[in-house]
């Protein structure tokens, strides 16, 4: 899906393998490398699915006719 002819592998796989070669672990170069990898993931591999944002759901049921949720909250 993200094949790159210049590096003969997928770009995502390249980021993973090259990132582990950068020493020391807490270097600015390694941190920047993984930020670039994260940006690649968010822009190219899963652009429709935010990774770090929680989902919000709303559900509605038609079989609850006559139920008034406001009255139930006031009773509590």
What is the pTM (predicted TM-score) of this model?
0.56
- From first CA to last CA, the distance across the chain in angstroms is 53
Identify whether the C-beta of residue 49 lies closer than 8 Å to the C-beta of residue 42: no
* Residue 3: pLDDT over 70: yes
* Residue 1: pLDDT over 90: no
Mean pLDDT computed over 13-29: 92
The pLDDT tens digits of the residues spanning 44-58 come to: 877 665 556 666 766
pLDDT at 30: 94
d(CA 44, CA 62): 39
Q: Write the DSSP assignment of 16-61 as a string of letters.
A: HHHHTTSSSTT-HHHHHHHHHHHHHIIIII-TTS-SSS--------
């Amino acid at each position: 899906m993200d094949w790159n002819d210049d590096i003969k592998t997928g770009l995502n796989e390249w980021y993973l393998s090259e990132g582990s070669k950068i020493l020391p672990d807490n270097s600015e170069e390694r941190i920047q490398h993984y930020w670039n990898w994260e940006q690649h993931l968010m822009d190219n591999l899963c652009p429709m699915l935010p990774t770090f944002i929680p989902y919000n759901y709303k559900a509605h049921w038609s079989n609850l006719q006559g139920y008034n949720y406001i009255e139930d909250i006031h009773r509590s």
